């Protein structure tokens, strides 16, 4: 099959968060990912007469879990409704803690997802994926990646490598509209990347139309996201240059290239 049975719709929250709503055309059940704000979700559920089959949580930050309790209390739910989430964090809201490689099935829908653990942004961060989509919270962003609040560059780099290994057609549903800022940084890293220039143009048009730039695909990220391109000559050269400015040693391995880029981006 070339396309999933489900549809994925963004629900905008706060300044730049996306809460992802997963629905199927054939039934009234739905799943939401990282509901930081219950009110915007409840509005959509009510307007579309949807019943919540599950909440998926990627990590413990408030803008991802802040709406969970209110949704549990106020939304229409299926009998087997559950809040899925990491096994290492967000335990105040998670009913079914998940670990690496675990598979979940949302029974009232035809939704089967697998778990990948992605330490870095937070230590317990997880993502949910199938052959079509990955819901990756604040780990991989369109054109960039999350800040390392809890993990090391090695951990974050390894987590991004796991996502980079998904099929290139996989759609990337990240949790923030940070794309244009990320791509401006990507351009500073790789000024001669043609695919990147084309992507910037496309995303600028999307934003003019007030449309999301997300989802992207793993293939687009591999071609334009510097944090997934730490083996590429130009990216390594730029990271070496940054590293030499700080009189650090020269031959960086991929996770160190990543670390340099992430540090640079923090003050870009």
Please give the size of the binding site for Zn ion, defined by CB under 5 A. 2
What x/- string results for residues 103 through 142 when contact with Zn ion is judged by CB under 5 A?
Answer: -----------------------------------x----
Which token pair is 118?
Answer: 């992605």
The pattern of x and - marking residues 137 through 166 that bind Zn ion according to CB under 5 A reads -x----------------------------
Stretch that binds Zn ion, among 55-63, 69-77, 85-93, 176-184 (CB under 5 A): 55-63
Judged by CB under 5 A, the residue of 21, 24, 54, 61 near Zn ion is 61
Provide, rounded to whole angstroms, the least separation between the CB of residue 138 and Zn ion.
4
Is 61 catalytic? The answer is yes
Catalytic annotation, pick one of 60, 61, 125, 157 = 61
Q: Among residues 45 and 214, whose Cβ is nearest to Zn ion?
A: 214
- CA torsion, ordered 37, 43, 46, 50, to nearest 10 deg: -50
Task: Write out the residues near Zn ion by the rule CB under 5 A.
Answer: 61, 138
Which residues are designated catalytic?
A: 59, 61, 63-64, 121, 138, 176
């Amino acid at each position: 099959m070339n396309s999933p049975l489900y549809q994925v719709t963004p629900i905008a929250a706060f300044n730049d968060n996306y809460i992802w709503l997963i629905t199927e055309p054939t039934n009234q059940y739905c799943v939401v990912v990282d509901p930081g704000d219950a009110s915007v979700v409840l509005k959509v559920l009510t307007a579309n007469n949807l019943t919540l089959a599950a909440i998926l949580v990627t990590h413990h930050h408030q803008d991802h879990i802040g709406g969970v309790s209110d949704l549990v209390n106020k939304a229409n739910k299926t009998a087997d409704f559950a809040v899925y989430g990491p096994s290492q964090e967000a335990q105040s809201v998670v009913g079914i803690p998940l670990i690496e490689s675990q598979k979940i099935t949302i029974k009232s829908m035809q939704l089967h997802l697998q778990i990948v653990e992605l330490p870095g942004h937070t230590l317990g961060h997880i993502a949910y994926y199938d052959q079509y989509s990955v819901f990756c919270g604040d780990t991989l962003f369109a054109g960039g990646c999350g800040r390392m609040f809890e993990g090391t560059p090695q951990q974050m780099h390894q987590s991004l490598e796991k996502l980079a290994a998904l099929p290139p057609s996989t759609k990337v549903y990240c949790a923030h509209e940070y794309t244009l800022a990320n791509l401006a940084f990507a351009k500073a890293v790789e000024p001669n990347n043609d695919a990147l220039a084309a992507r910037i143009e496309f995303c600028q048009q999307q934003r003019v139309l007030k449309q999301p730039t997300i989802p992207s695909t793993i293939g687009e990220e591999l071609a334009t996201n510097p944090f997934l391109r730490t083996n590429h000559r130009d990216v390594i050269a730029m990271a070496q240059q940054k590293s030499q400015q700080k009189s650090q040693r020269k031959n960086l391995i991929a996770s160190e290239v990543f670390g340099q880029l992430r540090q640079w981006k923090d003050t870009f």
